[in-house]
Amino acid sequence: MTYGTNVTMTNEDGLALITVNRPQALNALNCDTLEELRAAVLAADKDPAVRVIIITGAGAKAFVAGADIAQMRGLSPLEGRDMTILGQEVFAAIENLAKPVIAAINGFALGGGCELAMACDIRVAAATAKFGQPEVNLGIIPGFGGTQRLSRLIGKGRAKYCIFTGRMMSAQEAYQLGLADKVVEPDELLPVCREIAATIMSKAPVAVMMAKKAINHGLDMDLGSAVAYEAEAYTTCFATADRVEGMTAFLEKRPAAFAGK
Ligand code: HXC
């Protein structure tokens, strides 16, 4: 499977902009769209010209309004399980990309859309965006990692409140809960995401990559093992030419010129 129909990607100066493109269905994720999304993110991660990835939704109304209910309705339990596992695999792939991923949340981020946003590293929301895990309205639970990522992101009690009630939240409330990292005016959404991406791109690439690995993998470990893992990730950074350049540039009072080595 390749991308280009339900998921598009453009590459601008080191930035891959990936758009879920089914605006007629509020960018709902059917299985083909999930496969295209996987193909796009893996291609961006492999492309040496890409440093940061932004994921957004087409149109002004939705980031992603969830898994495709029309497709899910006709599935047998085992087919439903296959779709859940497909979504979980794609979102795990996003979470584990070497490169940083920013979710530009331009509208509804519901169900699988909220779960997609949570698989990204940083979530920037338009003030008009809406978040929620409304699956209980459909007789199901979040199945693309939402029960787990939401609990880890905002805490067990708050995650249960959101998931048991299926309530929709404003961007501001999502920000207060720690589900959104920044809220901006809608027309500022992509400019702000590009600015964040440019800031990240100005840093030492291996250091950013190792920080992502240490945070992601460390959170799955006990504290002692996680801190030991951090020491190894730190050592990898210490072995880079960029580490020497960064420290030398500081002492010489000049901007660092990182080479990603
Ligand atoms: C399929 C969807 C959809 C979805 C919207 N549409 N969400 N189609 N799957 N998740 C379609 C509508 O059917 C409609 O198609 C068109 O998009 C526009 O939507 P409207 O409902 O007419 O818009 P509006 O009245 O503005 O309401 C917007 C909305 C509502 C509040 C976002 O669409 C909504 O509640 N959507 C469902 C949200 C949801 O329950 N998400 C969780 C899904 S379960 P037509 O053809 O009529 O124009 C999930 C599980 C993940 O994500 C794990 C699975 C394994």
Instruction: Give me the pLDDT at residue 252, please.
Output: 98
- Asked whether the beta carbons of 97 and 45 are under 8 A apart, the reply is yes
Residue 93 confidence class, pLDDT cut points 50, 70, 90? very high
Residue 52: pLDDT band with limits 50, 70, 90: very high
| CATH architecture label of 205-251 | Orthogonal Bundle (1.10)
pLDDT tens digits, 128-155: 999 999 999 999 999 999 999 999 999 9
Does 66 contact ligand 1 (Cβ within 6 A)? yes
Q: What is residue 129's three-state secondary structure?
A: coil
The residue ranges of DSSP E strands in the chain, in sequence order, are 7-12, 15-20, 52-57, 62-64, 101-105, 108-110, 122-126, 130-132, 169-170, 182-184
Best CA proximity match to 96, nearest among 80, 71, 112, 119: 119
Q: Which atom of ligand 1 is nearest to the CA of 84?
A: 55
Largest CA distance in the chain: 65
Nearest ligand 1 atom to the CA of 168 is 31
For the record, the structure tokens of 11 come out as 């590459």
CA distances from 154 to 104, 161, 162, 178, 223 (A): 19, 11, 10, 6, 19
Mean pLDDT (whole number) for 5-12: 96
- List of residues 6+ apart from 121 with CB closer than 8 A: 100, 101, 102, 212
More confident residue, 220 or 1: 220
Domains 7-201 and 205-251 share a fold: no
Q: What pLDDT score was predicted for residue 185?
A: 98
Secondary-structure class of domain 7-201 per CATH: alpha beta
What is the SS3 assignment for 248? Answer: helix
Domain positions in the chain? 7-201, 205-251
Evaluate if residue 126 carries a pLDDT over 90. Answer: yes
Q: Which bin fits 229, alpha (ψ -120 to 50), beta or left (φ > 0)?
A: alpha
User: What pTM did the predictor assign?
Assistant: 0.98
Beta bridge partner(s), residue 10: 17
CA distance 9 to 145: 24
Q: Whose CA is nearest to atom 29 of ligand 1?
A: 65
Residue 1 has a pLDDT of 78
Beta pairing partners, 7: 20
What atom in ligand 1 is closest to the CA of residue 87?
55
pLDDT of residue 30: 98
Q: Is the CB of 69 under 6 A from ligand 1?
A: yes
145: three-class secondary structure by DSSP: coil
Confidence class of residue 250 from pLDDT cuts 50, 70 and 90? very high
pLDDT at 213 (0 to 100): 97
Question: Is the CB–ligand 1 distance for residue 108 below 6 Å?
Answer: yes
- β-partners of residue 130 are 108, 170
Ligand 1 neighbourhood includes 246 CB (under 6 angstroms): no
Which residues are known to be catalytic? 115, 135
Q: What share of the chain has pLDDT > 90, as a percent?
A: 99
| Residue 40 CA, ligand 1 centroid: distance in Å | 24
Task: Give me the residues paired with residue 182 across strands.
Answer: 124
